[in-house]
Structure 1
Amino acid sequence: MTPRRGRFGRVADLALGARLVFAGGRSGVSRTLMTVVGVGLGVALLLTSTSISTMMDGRSERAAARDDQFYGVDEPPPGDRTVLVAVADTVYRDEAIRGRLLQPEGARPPLPPGLTRLPGPGDMVVSPALARLLDSPDGALLRPRLDHRIVGTIADPGLAGPGEYAYYLGTDQLRAGGGTMRIDHFGAESTGEGLDPILMLLVLIIFVVLLLPIAVFIAAAVRFGGEARDRRLAALRLVGADAAMTRRIAAGEALVGAVLGLLAGAAFFLLGRQLVERFTLEGVSVFAGDVRPDPVLAALIVLAVPAVAVVVAQLALRRIVVEPLGVVRRSAGRRRRLWWRLTLPIVGAALLAPLLGGIDQTGAAFNQTQVILGVVLLLVGVAALLPWLVDAVVRRLRGGSVSWQLAIRRLQLDTESSARMVSGVAVAVAGGIALQMLFAGVQHAYVRPTGQDVDRAQAMVVIRAGLPGAAPDALAERFRTLPGVDGAVAVLDTAVFPVGSAPDEHGERPGSPLRIADCAALRELATLDRCADGDAFQVVGEPAPGRPARSLPAPGRSVEIGFGAPGTTTRWTVPAGLRTVPGRNDPAGDESTGLLATPGALAPATLRGLGGRVFLDLDLSRRDTIELVRNAAAGITPTAEVHRLRPTEEVTRFAQIRRALFIGVLATLLLLGASLLVGILEQLRERRRTLAVLVAFGTRRATLSASVLWQTAVPVLLGLALAIVLGTVLGGTLLAMVNQAVRPDWPSIAIMSGIAGAVVLLVTGLSLPALWRLLRPGGLRTE
């Protein structure tokens, strides 16, 4: 072969490499197909990750377009273009359901997005997902709560996602005030809540940890079929190609696999996009139209993947001998150098060192590029150190069973392929350990005590208004009879105002809370030494910081009861025997400052516009008790709220980031599992004749199956050990950056390692049918 010269010759060398991809018959096509599938899976996930911002933006824009809760602004006067809106949200088996009551005040009321007309009184318009749930057996307990005539479905513009549960219910029972708002339009400007520095750090680390294993996997995928490629290049050297031509031919082969992988990745992405509406993860669903890659990042992927393929192919040529009379190096060569592999994590730690103790919730913005680069170098150090570690360990292993010796000898001959195959798993585990340590270290700042006493009650029903003439015991009795409710106490809520008092500039009248309940319920609000029906009490609490003490009406004074304007309330004279008692936080953690009265002191039947709260003692071993409570509450009024009492609550943004991490980890694990499977199948295909010969000489299939397991398990175990070390170092560094105590999170380390081990066992098991097919006598044939 005569070496080509000039630009045309270089292009011809690239073209020859591209032709050789398909010149190996069925075997060559299989190798190319594995590379294309591997690269395509990675590209599809990268394209999906670049679509996250558009997905979230689409959800936020649609949520803002239907907003109907405008706080801090003056309500418009009633007119032909106004509508009354009340919130009627509910929950069904931990799934949130968005609900609104709508009552037009004129002939041309505003319409929420997704509706062509407002539903009439008693009619309901539901989202497609809610309609399916109500029609399914799983929705049997929800149907009594939403027992209204369905007259239509909410179109896509009115939903945050295709899997969202939502409804609009028409009514004619709303009155302005309280929890009911009058609006003349739907929609507000979409404003996202900012992230404090610690949450921003979490987001950055999540993106690096989830995307870096994908990049490592793509770099490994372009080397599928590497042994056959190396032999082919050696043959070209034998017929006259020089080293430069060989590198260009290798680049041409790599470019073909990368370009076809890009096309396959685009196809996988488009196919997955059409299926995305069928899935809901952690309560989040997205429309297919929202899954659009960022154009700049997508262009970067298109350019980066072929470049990575060429670079990897050129670096691989340094590990083989491509001489005219030397085909491919089949024995262990010189030992790998350690110094440059250690340099990567050391430089990464050095980049993060200046930020130690410099990031907190009140701190200024930090150098995000410095953080990303430092974390990337630390995690890339796992992939760089793993081949050296595997080589150093397996070189010293001797003896053992036949399956063990077969596996170790194979690793000794080619540690590069085995380490490359599991490097993505090791990087993911290291990053996961670091993330879990960071989450565990900072969660105390985002998981806060609520002050709720779950020993006294496990749920609370809140009715804002609309209980005229209600008796506390009758209200509690509606819930006591439910299966799984061991006890219930009810308190009626209203307020007292000085007679004739005028509203302030904010439209509020100065008043004091008034709560009506029997003695058993009042003991949940105050410490009473004695109580009988007809008694009344006052609880004087500590004033809030910066505010004057609340003035309670004096005994014998005449007051107005109710939330309406003067003249629409009920007159009442404060009893002369009013006693002052120590207050007590109710089970929900709220103070009970104000007036307390038993029904004998103030008959609820004489009052209007009462609200109420019911504290429930539940048998939590019954799954659907809380659903029966919600049904009973909805039977009183659709706007009734049922709250599960919990000792702690998680900050919304922190919970959203944790949820995003769960979704990302799930997607990454699926990709890594696929990458391991493809890698194992590629190695088995390369060894098919060797395996068939071993079977022909009497080696048992069980022995060969065990050798495949050992061959995968040894690099994985070494990778996990390395990942635990560097992941703990990275996690400790991140904790030091946010001024938290550095301590290993052993449960998270065990969980991450266990998941990785389970993935390896599963993938190895899936590869066994392919192994058994290769062990047939037909495997001795060659092309």
Structure 2
Amino acid sequence: MKLRCWIRDLGLGARFVLAGGPADRLRGLLTAVGAGLGVALLLLATALPHALSARDQRGLARQETSRSARPMPASDRTLLIADVDTRFRESGIRGRLLEPEGANSPLPPGLSSFPAPGEMAVSPALERLLRSPGARLLRERLPYHVTGTIAEAGLVGPDELAYYAGTRQLSQKERGSNGFVSRIDHFGAVPDARRGDPVLLLLTLLVVVALLTPIGVFVAAAVRFGGERRDRRLAALRLVGADAHTARRIAAGESLVGALLGLVLGAGLFVLGRRLAGHVAPFGVSVFPSDLVPAPLLAALVAVAVPGAAVGVTVLALRRVTAEPLGVVRSVRPAGRRLWWRLLLPAAGFVLLAPELGRGDGQSFHRSYVVTASVLVLLGVTALLPWAVDRFVGRLGGGPLSWQLAVRRLQSGTDSAGRGAAGITVAVAGAIALQMLFAAVDADYVKSTGDDLSRAQMVVMLPPGTSLSEGSARLARVRGVRGTDALYSAAVGDSARDPGVSAELTVGSCAALREVARLDSCRDGDVFAAPDPSAGSAATTLGRAGTLYIDSSYGSYTGLQIPFRMPAGGAKRASARPDPAGSLHGGILATPGAVPGAASAALQGTVYVRLDEAVPDARDEVRTAAAALGPLADAVTMVATRESARYASIRTALFIGAALVSALIGAGLLVSQLEQLQDRGPLLAFLRALGTPRRTLGLSLLWQTALPVAVGLLPAAATGLALGAVLQRMSGGPVRADWPALCVLGGIGASLALLVTVLSVPVLLRLVRAEGLRTE
């Protein structure tokens, strides 16, 4: 019998929305839009794990690997491959040179056949880039004829820039020991099954929590859109004989319809966004539409949770409203909200975290209750907000007319205003805690490279065999280059085979050698011995030898050795100093006139390039010039710091999610504002008819939106700082706050309120016209 009553009353509530007047249908639409936006983001959140996993799997499947740890002999099942990655402006390009050694050579994923020498297969994104008018330098750098396209199986995302080019030169340049060319027999790598970094795991989970919690709060608020008009209708139902329980069930039915429509709308928005996913790449991360597949269990949970939240939130919200036959008892001052139970959620969260404060090693971050505690703390902000808004606006008094209109509106009912601000407060609290944790662990994942950017801004690795003068001379003539210093290196020993003493040989002009050593005097033909603390006295010993042997097999001393006769009297003394990349070149230093011409085949060149930063595309000019020296030449931009790839991906995910959640919160505030304007339309029109300036009404709208947000930012900041401090203690880092960054986070929340007000003004101006006084 009770179930039949629920079904009957829920159905009656649904008919009020679907068969009611235009105002009822509009409120149902607003609820559906709000819930639909939340559902779309929730479905996206359930699909992202599969999308990111698919990207990782394709990345692993195309990794070139060998089944043997030893150098592999050539066979009809092997492939020579060279890494020729490059960059064009700010975009990275993945490149590989391929030379199959037999009919059964492994084919890279995404290719149907090997490109012939001089031809290449490219990703669709790279093909579009090559055809663009501004890609002249890139076309010159990749002088291959495009004959094919890399399929989805060979790309991590639709916007990835990648190519495979065919060649017959790798067998002549094979050097397995230094990574220029590798011989492989298959593609595909096994994912690392080791336990992940607990700090990075916590960062990942907290990013998910900090992004999903505001969405859940928003959906719970969206199902209450139009609540004030609904409550007045409940009073009319009480007048015709409905009891309080029946009225609540009817109200739940109205919310349920909006939530179900929101599910349909959210699913539609997700499908539309899924189709557009291949055309957008926020923060450089793109996914194929086919990868965005919601996890069935999580999608089912969303489908059940949203309608369930609609019914539960509506019934709980009506406990503070008494719908009586003669009206809604809300005009009298309600009993004050109690604070004690609102503090239970954050208190429980901090109690769970308290036992781990003394450890300070980050090893407890993998424990599930750390995430549970963080969720409780963030949800506690939402519970505190209504109490804080009530206490604050209840003490406000006189002021300008716009201020008084807004304050009186908030004092008559803060629930609707608080619902809009709840998403902002919980998002700001989570962002502050995450920002503090990122700041605490940043030094562990962002390392200094040692590059001295005042001495050079790029470094070009030249392939073996490049002339001692050709590389630096050609690069020095490139547009945007102010100067170059070329250094060439190889191993040198005191005998042709199995040397007793060996060291590094560095060849360069006097100016270039002064970049790696302190020289008293220098002229072409000189040789220097620069002791390296890590190599002991090898440089001093070799500096006194009559003849040295330059290793042409690059460290193994198994190939033809090139004799190098030392000058009479031995090598001069020098002291090593860090080069522009921060490395020491101890050992034997020689000018070009001192080494035999045959040594060029054994020397590997490194050219440090000084750029004129005012020249557009100077770095791409250097990359293109380096590629002209040989396909294996590698031009790298020097940077002061380098960060962990996984750490960077987590931070990128946070930026993407924060942008989406901010848009959702702004849309929720706007929908809530429009709903309140629709309910107050006749009153606003009446005030305008009495002579109230439009400017005053617009300012009252701003105060009405901004005050709850401003009040909510205070507990949000306090909670975020407290949670962030606890997480910093657990990570072992110092407890500190980046106040400028925290001010920016608060400013984002305030700017959302201002933006929503500006977007609401056109609706306000339409409602205050004389036609707004009409009623039915």
Could you say which TM-score interval applies, normalised by the shorter chain? over 0.9
C-alpha distance in structure 2 between counterparts of 1:193 and 1:478, whole Å: 47
The residue that corresponds to 1:242 in the other structure is: 243
Match of 1:309 in 2: 310
Alpha-carbon spacing, 1:443–1:315, altered in 2? closer, same or farther (3 Å): same
Name the CA distance, whole Å, in 1 between partners of 2:417 and 2:462. Answer: 64
1:673 corresponds to: 666
Q: Could you say if the C-alpha distance between residues 161 and 205 of structure 1 is closer, same or farther in structure 2, counting changes exceeding 3 Å?
A: same
Contact 2:516 2:585 in 1 (8 A): yes
- Pair 1:560–1:10, CA change in 2 (3 A): closer
1:570 alignment partner AA = I
Shift in Å, 1:574: 4.1
The verdict on how the C-alpha distance between 1:371 and 1:390 changes in structure 2, with shifts beyond 3 A counting, is: same
The equivalences for 1:555-566 within 5 A come to 555-563=545-553, 566=558
Partner SS, residue 609 of structure 2: strand
- Residue 189 in 1 paired to residue 198 in 2? no
Matches within 5 A, 1:397-416: 397-416=396-415
1:572 match: 564
Paired AA for residue 367 in structure 2: N
Aligned equivalent of 1:487: 483
Amino acid across the alignment from 1:275 = L
Gap change, CA 1:433 and 1:233, over 3 Å in 2: same
SS in 2 for 1:665: helix
Distance 1:727 1:585, change over 3 A: same
Trace 1:193-342 onto structure 2 (pairs within 5 A).
195-342=196-343
Report the Cα distance in structure 2 between the residues aligned to 1:303 and 1:296, rounded to whole angstroms.
11
Q: Distance in 1 between matches of 2:97 and 2:35?
A: 51
What residue in structure 2 maps to residue 506 of structure 1?
A: none
Question: Which residue of 91, 95, 108 maps to 1:95?
Answer: 91
Paired letter, 2:672:
G
User: Which residue number corresponds to residue 139 of structure 2?
Assistant: 143
The alpha carbon displacement at 1:670 in A equals 1.1
2:159 is aligned, of 152, 159, 163, to 163
Q: Deviations over 1:226-263 (max 9, x none)?
A: 01111122221111111222222222222222222122
2:675 is the alignment partner of 1:698: no
Distance 1:293 1:75, change over 3 A: farther
Q: Does 1:534 align with 2:525?
A: yes
CA displacement at 1:390 relative to structure 2? 1.4
Q: Please list the CA deviations of residues 498-556 of structure 1 after superposition, one character each: whole Å capped at 9, or x if unmatched.
A: 545369xxxxx995322211111111111211222111122332238xx9979964611
2:516 is aligned with 1:525: yes
1:240–1:567 distance in 2 versus 1, CA, 3 Å: closer
Segment of structure 1 superposing worse, 165-174 or 698-707? 698-707
State the TM-score, normalized to the length of structure 1. Answer: 0.94
Aligned AA (2:531): V
2:430·2:720 contact (CA, 8 Å) conserved in 1?
A: yes
Paired residues of 2:562 and 2:598 also in contact (CA < 8 A):
no
The number of residue pairs the alignment matches comes to: 767
Q: Is the 8 A contact 2:458 2:635 kept in 1?
A: yes
Residue of structure 2 equivalent to 1:177: 175
Q: Map Cα deviations across residues 585-609 of structure 1 (whole Å, 9 max, x no partner).
A: 2111112122221111103455314
Matched, 1:634 2:616: no
What are the Cα deviations for residues 477-511 of structure 1, in whole angstroms up to 9, with x where unaligned?
222222332221101122225545369xxxxx995
State the shift of 1:325 in Å. Answer: 2.6
2:380 aligns with 381
Corresponding residue for 1:582? 575
- AA matched with 1:572: F
Per the alignment, residue 422 of structure 2 pairs with 423
- For 2:103 and 2:545, how far apart are their aligned partners in 1? 50
C-alpha contact 2:462 2:471 (8 A) present in aligned 1: no
Residues 552 and 266 of structure 1: CA distance in aligned 2, closer, same or farther (over 3 Å): farther
- The CA distance in 1 between the partners of 2:546 and 2:191, in whole Å, is 52
CA distance in 2, matches of 1:548, 1:520: 25
Code of the residue aligned with 1:591 in structure 2: it is L
Contact 1:454 1:646 in 2 (8 A): yes
- Between 1:474-483 and 1:32-41, the stretch displaced more is 474-483
Distance across 2 between alignment mates of 1:649 and 1:255: 51
Q: Distance in 1 between matches of 2:599 and 2:448?
A: 39
**Aligned-residue CA RMSD in angstroms?**
2.3
Matching residue of 2:472: 476
Q: 1:194, CA displacement in angstroms? A: 5.0
Note closer, same or farther for the CA distance 1:400–1:292 as it changes in structure 2 (3 Å cut): same
Partner secondary structure for residue 512 of structure 1: strand
CA deviation after TM superposition for structure 1 residue 71, in Å: 9.4
* Letter of the 1:454 counterpart: L
For 1:632 and 1:47, how far apart are their aligned partners in 2? 48
Name the CA distance, whole Å, in 2 between partners of 1:71 and 1:206: 38
Distance, in Å, in 2 between the alignment partners of 1:419 and 1:604 is: 80
Tell me, what secondary structure is at the counterpart of 2:450? coil
2:6 maps to 10
Q: What is the TM-score with the length of structure 2 in the denominator?
A: 0.94
Deviations 1:298-323 (A, max 9, x none): 22222221221111101111111112
Q: Which amino acid aligns with 1:670?
A: A
Q: CA deviation at 1:140?
A: 3.1
SS at match of 1:614: strand
Paired position in structure 1 for 2:393: 394
Structure 2 CA distance for aligned equivalents of residues 466 and 763 of structure 1: 65
Structure 1's unaligned 5+ residue stretches are 504-508
Most deviating of 625-634 and 318-327? 318-327
- 1:561–1:571 CA contact under 8 A, matched in 2: no
Per-residue Cα deviation, 1:703-731 (whole angstroms, up to 9, x for no partner): 21111111111111111222222211111
Contact 1:437 1:748 in 2 (8 A): no
Contact kept, 8 Å, 2:66 with 2:183, in 1: the verdict is no
Match for 1:303: what amino acid?
V
C-alpha spacing 1:71/1:777, structure 2 compared with 1 (3 Å): farther
Inter-partner Cα distance in structure 2 for 1:97 and 1:150:
16
Distance 1:631-1:39 versus aligned 2 partners, 3 A rule = same
Do the aligned partners of 2:492 and 2:550 also contact (CA within 8 Å) in 1? yes
The residue matched to 2:337 in structure 1 has which SS? Answer: coil
Task: Measure, in 2, the Cα distance between the counterparts of 1:226 and 1:37.
Answer: 15
Superposed CA deviations along residues 146-166 of structure 1, whole A, max 9, x for unmatched, are 232111211111101000000
**1:259 maps to amino acid:** L
Structure 2: runs of 5+ lacking an equivalent: none
Q: Quickly say closer, same or farther: Cα 1:236–1:488, change in 2 above 3 A.
A: same
What's the CA shift for 1:567?
Answer: 4.9
Change (3 A) 1:138 1:234: farther
More helix by share: 2
